[in-house]
Chains A and B, each alone.
Chain A
Amino acid sequence: MGHLSPHQLTDCTEGVETESVRSHWLSCAACRVQVEHSRAAIAAARNVDVPEPSPLFWDHFSTRVRQAVQSEASRCANRAWWVPARLVWAGSMALVLLAVWIGFRVDWSAERPAQVRTLSAERLESLGEPSGTSDDPALSFVADLASDLDWDAASEAGLTTHVDMEDMLSQLSDGERRVLHELLKGELARPRT
């Protein structure tokens, strides 16, 4: 068995060690010295008293504590009435902020369909324009390329926007609807590979 642990040495110092621990420290000089030193330190510490205050001190002490507790109690009572008021105020502010946020969201989403409809109509106009009739050779070139472009490829290329189809169709002119009809017929007639 090696030397005793601090835990065991404390038990020896206080006389509550186990039999095996006692037999060790009685036979081990190093551990015995440790125990003796601990007991001497305890004895030196125990000689230090706390000076006893005068009896008046205790009466004044109790009075001071009572006064501090009473002011604490009245402070808590004052806080009690305005805490609910503060909660009501905070709740009202939260509701106002929520209403503003919802209103903002509604306004913003109300604007967006108009942009989409405008975009869709512009996009359809450019798509419906017969190739070769534009004065701009660049546009003619793009129109030629776009005529062979199917929807999936256009979507992957980021050329499409998420639109409400019924809304979009209601905005088309008669000419635009005829062009769209022709395009759809051609697409449906094409054999699937």
Chain B
Amino acid sequence: MDPSFAWTLPHAGQLEWNVDAVRSEFEGTVDPELATFDEAALVAACISGRPGAFDLIVERHRRGIYRLCYRFAGNHEDAADLSQDVFIRAYRGLRSFRQQSSLGTWLYRIGVNVCLNRVNTRSLPTEPIEKRQHIETRDDSPVDRVLREEQAARVREAIAHLPRKQRATLILRIYHELSHQEIADILGSSVGAVKANFFHALGNLRKALGEEAL
């Protein structure tokens, strides 16, 4: 079916209305049956080349992956690039996914590796408030918003300077609320090592922010 169609409405008056309807690029490309598939079936559908199967995986996990990448990158453009890279790598490696963990955990593992390999902490770009392509969801006063953003920038800076595994552990635990076991699976560590990393990450974060910031 064509993505767009047009027709002309005859009008009683002198004017004729031309109506163009443009169908969203995403709408209609996903097979409705795919929406009922569980993870294993969806992965199998992707591997067999069924159209729309990987699109559905992207749709289900894009927000979580983007937020993960944003936590590492600190800005929208890099987060978008990193997220795209994560899904391309996932597509390439789908045949090797053994389903020993959930698909989300597997995607997070790819995401953490991509981010740790690509993000340079020494040159973490800070994103000016006015450049952010986001929707404000709070009813703060402008002063409160600026203060909040300044504090957030300090926290991001402090997290960006944590050692790699501490940074990954803190991000996955605090912002994505993964269990210690899931984090251990992603990082290839033990639960004890994850807990120790988390403790030291919090200690370093506190030192970086200082007493008054907390």
Contacts and interface: CB of A to CB of B under 8 A. Distances in A.
Residue of A38, A47, A69 with most chain B CB atoms under a 10 A cut-off: A69
Given A50-B71, A72-B92, A7 B59 contact: no
Contacts of B134: 51-54
Residue of B55, B76, B199 with most chain A CB atoms under a 10 A cut-off: B199
Contacts of A37: 202-203, 206, 214
Nearest to B57: A65
Given A59-B26, A62-B59, A69-B87, A40 B206 contact: yes
Contacts of A69: 54, 87-88, 91
Contact of A62 (B62, B151, B192, B202): B62
Chain A binding site: helix, strand, loop or mixed by DSSP?
helix
B214 A61 contact: no
Contact of B195 (A7, A50, A53, A59): A7
Contacts of B71: 50
Interface in B20-34: 24-26
Contact of B76 (A42, A53, A68): A53
A42 B213 CA distance: 12
Contacts of B59: 62
Given A48-B152, A64-B84, A69-B91, A38 B199 contact: yes
A47 B206 contact: no
A40 B202 CA distance: 9
Interface in B59-85: 59, 62-63, 66-67, 70-71, 76, 80, 83-84
Interface in A79-95: none
B76 A11 contact: no
A57 B80 contact: yes
Interface size grouping (class) on chain A: 35 or more
Nearest to A7: B195
B121 to A, nearest CB: 16
A140 interface: no
The 10 closest A-B pairs by CB, nearest first: A51-B134, A6-B199, A10-B195, A6-B196, A40-B214, A41-B202, A48-B152, A38-B202, A41-B206, A7-B195
Interface size grouping (class) on chain B: 35 or more
A45 B84 contact: no
Contacts of B54: 66, 69
Contacts of A63: 25-26
Interface string A12-36: 0100000000000000000000100
A110 interface: no
A135 interface: no
B159 A45 contact: yes
A40 B211 CA distance: 10
Given A11-B195, A46-B174, A68-B84, A52 B135 contact: yes
Contact of A10 (B66, B83, B196, B214): B196
Given A47-B152, A63-B25, A6 B135 contact: no
Contacts of A6: 195-196, 199-200
A42 B133 CA distance: 27
Contacts of A52: 134-135, 137
B50 interface: no
17 contacts: A5-B196, A6-B196, A37-B202, A40-B214, A41-B202, A41-B214, A44-B209, A44-B213, A45-B159, A47-B155, A50-B70, A51-B133, A53-B66, A61-B62, A62-B59, A66-B55, A72-B91
